[in-house]
């Protein structure tokens, strides 16, 4: 049962080593982006990076850790884009705020579709656990605060779960469109907006009679 560590094995201490690590990550991204998961093997990565396979294993304990590092980078870049977007759309109508965020997400997915899709899949499969949660919490918190503060959502309780659901919904619709032969981004944008507005601006949610279950308490969690 190989409980594989996903953290980098050690940090480069010399300048040239830092370059090596950078080169490896770039090569990995390029290989993943060109041929997706097939052909994504350490030998090819080493070849593209112009280093020996052994060098990869000096810094990453296994292939999964390499992928985890790429995911971390993608998350960081997304987090920056989200925060910039929130700042730019401050004080605007909710529709504008949401559209701006949707555009960020679409750009993130379609900017390098193959890479983004591959990373998304690996993100699910790897037991990343906490590793990425720092950045993810950073994004989620920023969005949650923006939504909570928005006048049009005065009547909506925006919990952490609500925010994460919005991410989940938007991501799923965007990824789904990305797998189509001829994506229609304008229509996609509308559909995601509709879904998010619908989820957030629900008209007077009446309590629903439902089948018996164990956990019949408060349905939304508090923010951490």
Partner DNA sequence: ACCTGAACACCGTTCAAGT
Q: Give the residues lining the site for DNA (CB under 7 A).
A: 4, 10, 12-14, 16-17, 19-20, 39-43, 51-55, 57-58, 61-64
Q: Which is nearer to a second copy, 51 or 126 (CB)?
A: 126
Q: Which is nearer to a second copy, 43 or 124 (CB)?
A: 124
For position 133 contacting a second copy by CB under 8 A, the verdict is no
Of these, 124, 155, 204, 224, which contacts a second copy (CB under 8 A)?
124
Q: Are 70 and 25 in contact (CB under 8 A)?
A: yes
For position 130 contacting a second copy by CB under 8 A, the verdict is no
Cβ-proximal residues to 171 (8 Å cutoff; 6+ apart), any chain = 105, 109, 120
Q: Which is nearer to DNA, 3 or 212 (CB)?
A: 3
Chain-centroid distance of CA 122 in Å reads 11
- From DNA, a second copy, none, which one binds at residue 84 (CB under 5 to 8 Å depending on kind)? none
For position 157 contacting a second copy by CB under 8 A, the verdict is no
Of these, 185, 204, 222, 224, which contacts a second copy (CB under 8 A)?
185
Distance CA 29, CA 116 (A): 10
Backbone φ/ψ region at 98: left (φ over 0), alpha (ψ -120 to 50), beta: alpha
For position 63 contacting a second copy by CB under 8 A, the verdict is no
Site track for a second copy across 66-105, x = CB under 8 A: -----------------------------x---x---x--
Note the residues at the interface with a second copy (CB under 8 A): 2, 37-38, 95, 99, 103, 117, 121, 124-125, 161, 164-165, 168-169, 171-173, 176, 179, 184-187, 189-191, 193-195, 197-203, 205, 208, 210-211, 213-216, 219-220
């Amino acid at each position: 049962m190989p409980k594989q560590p996903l953290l980098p094995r050690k940090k480069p201490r010399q300048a040239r080593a830092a370059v090596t690590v950078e080169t490896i990550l770039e090569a990995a991204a390029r290989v993943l982006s060109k041929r997706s998961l097939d052909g994504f093997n350490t030998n090819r990565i080493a070849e593209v990076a112009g280093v020996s396979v052994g060098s990869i294993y000096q810094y990453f304990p296994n292939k999964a850790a390499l992928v985890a590092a790429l995911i971390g980078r993608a998350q960081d870049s997304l987090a920056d884009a989200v925060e910039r977007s929130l700042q730019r759309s401050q004080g605007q109508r909710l529709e504008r705020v949401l559209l701006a965020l949707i555009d960020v997400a679409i750009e993130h997915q379609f900017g390098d579709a193959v890479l983004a899709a591959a990373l998304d899949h690996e993100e699910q499969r790897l037991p990343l656990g906490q590793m990425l949660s720092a950045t993810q919490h950073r994004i989620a918190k920023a969005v949650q605060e923006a939504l909570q503060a928005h006048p049009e959502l005065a009547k909506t309780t925006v919990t952490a779960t609500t925010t994460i659901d919005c991410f989940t919904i938007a991501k799923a619709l965007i990824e789904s469109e990305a797998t189509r032969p001829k994506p229609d981004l304008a229509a996609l944008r509308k559909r995601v907006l509709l879904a998010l507005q619908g989820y957030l601006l629900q008209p007077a949610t009446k309590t629903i009679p439902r089948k018996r279950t164990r956990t019949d308490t408060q349905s939304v969690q508090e923010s951490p």
